[in-house]
Amino acid sequence: MTLNMHREKFNRLSIKVGIAFSRLGLSANQWTVLTVIPAAISSYFLVNRDFLPAAVFLLAAGFIDMVDGAVARVTGTVSKLGAYLDTVIDRYVEFAIIAGLLFARLPSVIFRIELWILAYLFGAMMTTYAKAAAKEKDITSKELRGGILERAERLIILFFGLLLAHYDLIYLSYMVMILAVLANLSALQRIAMAAKIAK
């Protein structure tokens, strides 16, 4: 069950966040771009195997990602450009974190950890691409949502993996392995959805 299914429960919180952060004078698109900063810092700490700060800055990136949409809705500045920019920046953010994992020298589980990390990266990107391709090829006019693991769930699992890595690195390796499997399964689920609609 994805967080997207519970989106209505977050509406009140989103409105409060939007009102509070809109007072700072930054536009929704500026908040979107700012997401890259804590993500890059998190990646830096990952490379240096300092996992607690990496988790904190990953959480900050996730929070700012919520702020941009909240500010856009509260200020009435929701736009196609903003939605596009948000999607693009999300990819940069997730790539920055996964790149940090590649250099964190994590222990291997079953296969080399680098293979799991690359599989995680591929699955994450394919989950998004399967959605974009379905619209590009006019299979569906609506966004293709769903799958066992969307971006928010991936970041939550990774966040807890970073916390656990403070105690033992093997826990983060297990989380990466889980992410690799579930992200690719999610991509296949979306591909199957698109194929079903196309028929």
How distant, in Å, are the alpha carbons of 8, 10, 74, 82 from that of 19?
Answer: 18, 14, 6, 18
Distance CA 98, CA 108 (A): 16
Decide if pLDDT at 4 tops 80. Answer: no
Burial class (CB in 10 A: 0-12, 13-18, 19+), 5: exposed
Work out the average pLDDT over 179-186: 94
- Please state, as a whole number, how many other Cβ atoms lie within 10 Å of the Cβ of residue 198: 11
Side-chain-side CA neighbours of 178 within 13 Å: the count stands at: 16
pLDDT in tens, 87-137: 899 899 999 999 999 999 999 999 999 999 999 999 999 988 888 887 777
pLDDT in tens, 123-136: 999 988 888 887 77
Work out the average pLDDT over 148-162: 88
Decide if pLDDT at 63 tops 80. Answer: yes
Work out the average pLDDT over 77-96: 88
pLDDT value at position 84? Answer: 87
pLDDT value at position 95? Answer: 92
Which fold, 3-198? Four Helix Bundle (Hemerythrin (Met), subunit A) (1.20.120)
Q: Domain extents for the chain? A: 3-198
